[in-house]
Homo-oligomer: A and B are copies of this chain.
């Protein structure tokens, strides 16, 4: 049975970034286990989807690329794009993994995880059983969409299941959800000439409303939304809490809102309703404590409060008011976790400590209250 000091599950932005941090601990034996390819979730993005945070190559002047997983690299340089596509970003991650010779095992889906009493973990993989002293769960959220936000949702394609918006050939669609994925779906469909109705609980882009970036659309999405509105093909209905979907005899759909309103649509509505709370952490649900909102409870070091040695990395990490939902947020936690592991093993963590705060001078302020992604 192979033994590792630390195993990382998932080779997306969180997994690759964590591996880079672990690599800074001399002598640490670690590996990354990935069910698919490096950046698999990104490769499965809709063809038209782009990063909503801009990439720019300002590293030489002290500002890391917002979407980079380490300080010196830049997706803007690697992809030539300010808003990389999913496949472009996956290629960037693959490039980083190759360049740093990270020990990534692809096509290596972890089938079972057991926490060993007294410490450590046993992982069953296609390549055999593996023992790891520490386990870092970094399986993201994109592959864990919420497919059942209301009764009848099973008829609806979810944003995360869409390969290419050009395959949506009906003349009109209803999109449910006013945050990033719903707006992206609506914008892409309107851009392709479809008539689109967007049902949203509230405006996330009101120029008179909150300018808190965590409560409102990214500037990139906002701008694209305005352009879509300008086409005249996008109708937005606010204050809609969809509570169910029914089918009529002709095969059409009726969308029901909590206030009694309804809309009829021939094509199945599209779910831009987000992802399961906890995301990939649900794969090992019994190893975490869950709060009443359905979120993973973590220690200050992003460690499970009930399974010592198990850490969470990625967009599901929350610390009080801080939600680490974008790469530029959650990458700040890589060094924290790697340092904790290194110290437990009595290794030299100097390289991580000199890098502490490496993502910027303001540290991790308290001013991101009410973040919602």
In the complex, are the beta carbons of B219 and A360 less than 8 A apart?
Answer: no
State which residues 56-77 of A face B: CB under 8 Å: 56-64, 66, 71-72, 76-77
State which residues 31-89 of A face B: CB under 8 Å: 53-64, 66, 71-72, 76-78, 80-83
A1 neighbours in B (Cβ, 8 Å): none
State which residues 352-373 of A face B: CB under 8 Å: 357-365, 367-368
In the complex, are the beta carbons of A81 and B360 less than 8 A apart?
Answer: no
Q: Which of chain B's residues has its CB closest to A216's CB?
A: B80
Residue in B59, B80, B219 whose CB lies within 8 Å of A56? B219
How many Å from the CB of A82 to the closest CB on chain B? 4
Answer yes or no: A155 CB below 8 A from chain B CBs. no
Total identical chains: 2
Distance of A213 Cα from B65 Cα, bound (Å): 12
The binding surface of chain A is classed by DSSP as: loop
Residue in B54, B56, B62, B66 whose CB lies within 8 Å of A362? B62
A56 neighbours in B (Cβ, 8 Å): 53-54, 66, 213, 218-219
How many Å from the CB of A175 to the closest CB on chain B? 22
Residue in B53, B54, B83, B362 whose CB lies within 8 Å of A59? B362
Residue in B53, B55, B361 whose CB lies within 8 Å of A357? B361
In the complex, are the beta carbons of A360 and B64 less than 8 A apart?
Answer: yes
Q: Which of chain B's residues has its CB closest to A367's CB?
A: B60
A82 neighbours in B (Cβ, 8 Å): 54, 218-220, 223
In the complex, are the beta carbons of A364 and B219 less than 8 A apart?
Answer: no
On A, residues with C-beta under 8 Å from B are: 53-64, 66, 71-72, 76-78, 80-83, 207, 211, 213, 218-220, 222-223, 328-329, 332, 357-365, 367-368
In the complex, are the beta carbons of A63 and B60 less than 8 A apart?
Answer: no
Distance of A73 Cα from B58 Cα, bound (Å): 18
Q: Which of chain B's residues has its CB closest to A207's CB?
A: B80
How many Å from the CB of A193 to the closest CB on chain B? 17
Distance of A58 Cα from B56 Cα, bound (Å): 13
Q: Which of chain B's residues has its CB closest to A330's CB?
A: B61
How many Å from the CB of A51 to the closest CB on chain B? 11
In the complex, are the beta carbons of B367 and A62 less than 8 A apart?
Answer: no
In the complex, are the beta carbons of B361 and A80 less than 8 A apart?
Answer: no
In the complex, are the beta carbons of B361 and A71 less than 8 A apart?
Answer: yes
A357 neighbours in B (Cβ, 8 Å): 62, 361
A364 neighbours in B (Cβ, 8 Å): 61-62
A80 neighbours in B (Cβ, 8 Å): 207, 211, 219, 222
- Assuming the contacts A58-B66, A62-B332, A213-B57, asked whether A361 and B362 have C-beta atoms less than 8 A apart, the reply is no
How many Å from the CB of A89 to the closest CB on chain B? 13
Distance of A77 Cα from B55 Cα, bound (Å): 17
In the complex, are the beta carbons of B360 and A62 less than 8 A apart?
Answer: yes
